[in-house]
Amino acid sequence: MSLDKKNIRTLTLEELMDFFKENDMPTFRAKQVYEWLWKKSVSSFEEMRNVSKETIQLLDEHFVILHAKITESQKSADRTIKSAFGLYDNNNVEGVLIPTKSRMTACISSQVGCSLTCKFCATGKLDRLRNLHADEIYDQIFMLNEQALSNYNQKLSNIVYMGMGEPLLNYRNVLESIDKITSTDGLGMSPKRITVSTAGIAKLIKKLGDDEVKFNLALSLHAANDKKRDYIMPINEQNSLEALKEAIVYFYEKTQTRITYEYIIFKDFNDEISDAQELASFAKITPCKINIIEYNPIDDGEFQQAKREKVYAFVSYLESKNLIVNVRRSRGKDIDAACGQLANKLVKS
């Protein structure tokens, strides 16, 4: 799709007001249009019902709304819903709605594909084609919220940037999308309900601290041993555990936000008590919590789920060191919607 018109959602409210001034139209129109674009998330100017035909014509001459759309959805036996989002350039990303008794969580993507090649992740086997724009990230959340309301009569309570891509490698757009989600002009959600998950890029974790972000940070750790982490997560070769420690301490000092460590436990790889000892030592650097996540198999079959008794022993050791530990059972495995399984397998319409 060639773009001879500007994407209107790249404009701030002030820039939109300037546009109306330049075209000798009242600036209050800008606020009306802005509300339609974000709070109501319309996909065409014609849907703006309280805006004059003259205004719609003017907008249509200069701008386009590049709205993502749901092209396919699948519902799991556990009520998890995975959706494919079609983008303006015919690329696709996937997002997941995860309902539980206490939460309604949207898991969203930040990139088309991924460049990190983590061995246990289906998305890591795709090429990274491009970063998502802030409005494309926002569209996923808006539509998953609509999906939550229509399917479960509940609105979203939590958002996790844990879908396709590495959020910190799309730093500006991710932070812009969070600004819009938390703004009264957007969805008005609390930043404390939002978690950004990173594979661990030390300098950008420090930048989050410098920017004094209010949302939560999760680190996909999966091994607290450089040799093992190098093997499953090549990014560790440039972002060693020592470098990550320094960045996490810096982030905590700047934000006072407790970090979450995500640890997928693999059979005969990182499931021994010695691995738990390394994890406990690493985790003690700042206040934190640890999510132990069961492995979700992908097509290559290199890794397997750890045995249940190994998981229990692992968790018991961590708890004996006064660490906060949660065991996360996978959701949506039957539709490849669980952690690490997103790989654009849904059919495009």
What's residue 90's pLDDT? 94
User: Are 90 and 55 within one domain?
Assistant: no
Last residue of a domain, one of 45, 64, 83: 64
The verdict on 202 and 223 lying in the same domain is: yes
Tally of structural domains, the chain: 2
244 and 130 fall within a common domain: yes
Q: Specify the pLDDT at position 349.
A: 37
Pairing verdict, β 69-75 and 130-131? unpaired
Q: Are residues 157 and 190 in the same domain?
A: yes
Report the C-alpha gap between 63 and 155 in whole angstroms: 31
DSSP H helical ranges for 100-163: 134-152
Angle at 276 (CA atoms; ends 270, 281), nearest 5 degrees = 125
In this structure, are 99 and 231 located in the same domain? Answer: yes
Distance CA 310, CA 270 (A): 10
Specify if 349 maps to a domain: no
Q: Is 3 a domain residue? A: no
Please state, in angstroms and rounded to a whole number, the distance separating the CA atoms of residues 268 and 283.
22
From the list 114, 118, 121, 339, the catalytic residue is: 339
What span, in angstroms and rounded, lies between the C-alpha atoms of 305 and 268? 9
DSSP string spanning 28-95? HHHHHHHHHHTTS--SSGGG-TTS-HHHHHHHHHHEE----EEEEEEE-TTS-EEEEEE-TTS-EEEE
Catalytic (active site) residue 242: no
Query: What's the pLDDT at 329?
Result: 75
The reply to whether 21 and 159 lie within a common domain is no
Q: Are residues 213 and 124 in the same domain?
A: yes
Q: Is 118 a catalytic residue?
A: no
Contact 164, 17 (CB under 8 A): no
Taking the C-alpha atoms of residue 148 and residue 83, their distance in angstroms, rounded to an integer, is 12
Closest CA relative to residue 250, chosen from 201, 200, 205: 205
| Residue-level pLDDT at 40 | 95
Report the CATH number that the domain containing residue 263 is assigned in CATH.
Answer: 3.20.20.70
In a domain, 17, yes or no: yes
Burial zone of 312 (CB within 10 Å; 0-12 exposed, 13-18 middle, 19+ buried) = exposed
Q: Pseudo-torsion of CA 313, 296, 193, 259, nearest 10°?
A: 50
Give the span between the Cα atoms of 231 and 237, in whole angstroms.
Answer: 9
Does residue 91 form part of some domain? yes
Asked if residue 307 and residue 221 are part of one domain, the reply reads yes
Residues 34 and 101 in one domain: no
User: Which residue type does 172 have?
Assistant: R
Q: Is residue 135 part of a domain?
A: yes
Cα separation, 50 vs 205, in Å, equals 44
Q: Which of 18, 44, 64 corresponds to the end of one domain? A: 64
Domain presence at residue 344: no
Cβ atoms of 109 and 138 closer than 8 Å: no
The domain that holds 16 is classified in CATH as: 1.10.150.530
Domain around 25: 8-64
The predicted pLDDT at position 1 comes to 46
Of 94, 136, 262, 294, the catalytic one is 94
| d(C-alpha 280, C-alpha 293), whole Å | 16
Query: pLDDT tens track of the chain, all 349 residues?
Result: 446 899 999 999 999 999 999 999 999 999 999 999 999 999 999 999 999 999 999 999 999 999 999 999 999 888 999 999 999 999 999 999 999 999 999 999 999 988 887 888 877 677 788 999 999 999 999 999 999 999 999 999 999 999 999 999 999 999 999 999 999 999 999 999 999 999 999 999 999 999 999 999 999 999 999 999 999 999 999 999 999 999 999 999 999 999 999 999 999 999 999 999 999 999 999 999 999 998 877 666 688 989 999 999 999 999 999 999 999 876 655 555 545 444 555 544 3
Phi, psi of 305 (to 5 degrees): -65, 140
172 shares a domain with 133: yes
| Inside any domain, residue 2 | no
Helix (H) or strand (E) holding 111: strand 111-112
**C-beta atoms surrounding 311 within 10 Å:** 17
Angle (CA) 239 126 279, round 5°: 35
DSSP string, 170-214: GHHHHHHHHHHHHSTTTT---GGGEEEEES--HHHHHHHHHTT--
Question: Is residue 57 situated within a structural domain?
Answer: yes
